[in-house]
Structure 1
Amino acid sequence: MNDMAKNTPTVSEIVDELAKEQPPKRIWEVDFVRGLMILFVVWDHFMYDVSAFEPYQSGLFNWLYALSARYYSGVLRQVAQPVFVTMFVFTSGVSCSFSRSNGKRALRMMAFALLFTAATRAAEEIVRADVTIYFNVIHVIALSVALYTAVEWVWKKCVKGWQKNLFGIVMTAVTLAVIIVGACANAKPWTNDNPLWFFLAMHNSQKVPAFTHFYGGDYLPFFPAFGWFLVGAFLGKFLYRQRQSLFPTVNEKWVCPVTFCGRHAIWIYFGSQLFMYGLFYLFCVLI
């Protein structure tokens, strides 16, 4: 009887065990920022799709086409677009701090990215426009999560102090190198005509005509985006060591529409693209 009593867990132990099994509470501010970013991305793609499918027979869509022309030639888009896309990638890096398995997350993201490319390729056959998306923000995040999974594995192998210090130095150098190389490529695009390098950094489409096709309906170079992803991942580990919100007093009900978009950013991105392709094809070709 004494042995049974010793092996019987107490109520507090049972509660603690159940608490461990519960999924971690989402951090509302991360979802909020990602929600804002995905809403801007949807708007930006909406403006691009409006300009890509003209001419229209509808007065409303002709007005939207004029609006998209002003938007794409304006300062707002030139300034806001790279900032919002970078923040979207950055918050995806922060989210790695809360994932139970970044490896599984990477596999899901890769499958989703391939599905997205296949869907846009099918859409291209229907609308007869160069709208296939070979490598954009979804592919960037998928590949980034996969590489970060390897980074996490290496970190876990670093048990000695000098190993951890060396790891920190190497990863800092890699992160800075990716950001700097990517920024230089954006300022002075590469002229390498090997298609295997197209995903890595911005290329000069005038000197490398094949890059225009790879750019397709949307494109985001892996450099410097991967660098900002790493910054977000490492900063997330530092800021959210307790996996708790930094702003716990905020009433999440007031921001729930935006955080909802942040929680379901991938599906919103995917669904909005397909919906807009179908909508503009309908008004441009069938009506």
Structure 2
Amino acid sequence: MPLVSMAPLLAKAEEGKYAVGAFNCNNMEIVQAIIAAAEAERSPVIIQASQGAIKYAGIDYIVALTKIAAENTFVPVALHLDHGTSFDQCMQCIRSGFSSVMIDGSKYALEENIAITNRVLAVARAVGVSVEAELGKIGGTEDDIHVDERDALFTDPNDAKRFVEETGVDALAIAIGTAHGQYKGRPELDFERLKKIKSLVDMPIVLHGSSGVPEEDIRKAIDLGVRKVNIDTNLREAFVEGVKEAIAKNPNEIDPRKLLGPAKTKMSEVIREKIRIFGSNGKV
């Protein structure tokens, strides 16, 4: 089937009180691993590309790979821009074939964040593309975007209410204690803040930086209203582990397929586990 907007996937997740996994891709093997896992679990899935992925693979390659994957599977697939930093970049992704974009205006004051989000929404709505926005700053590093831990600001519930009332975005990423990249210790999530935000906002909530968050905390966040969970670091770890194991077994191997094949399998195993934790398995 063709790529679908993220909005209906999250609307169904809202009804069913589960979350849809959003998995970052950088190359063909990762796209194939995501699709194989989604098919095995009969789950809708969001494939997303970050700034670094677009720079590395090229926007046309990412769109082509994901479109081919979507057209040859029975599970619904959305292609989403992760952490779009400007109006122009969101427009480029929409023109290139993305079915969903994120405009991350969290670095701006609330009024400016609302304004840039509405600029993106005006175009995206006209062409059936869904929009995610961010309020509050999520710490850590996501490719080229770095937020120092001291500068990571939790989302203010009243700001979230105003933001959603004045934009009507399809999903809102909030900062409640997660971080991009590998955690130094166990993250402490502010569940009371999440609960308060959800009570004020009738909107699918997005949890970024979820790779190192314990399973029970992910489940609790979903119970409290998270409907999209982003996973990147865990896939990188599985990819590298698979390659290392293949090289260790045969140090003289020169066939890339025999090195990347095990990496793809490792990633699919991780993604299947995440899908079951999120509760989206069997929802197709």
Q: Same fold (TM over 0.5)?
A: no
Instruction: Report which of the two has the higher share of strand.
Output: 2
From the CA coordinates, give the structure whose radius of gyration is larger: 1
Q: Which has the higher contact order (CA 8 A, sep 6+)?
A: 1
TM-score, structure 1 as length reference: 0.26
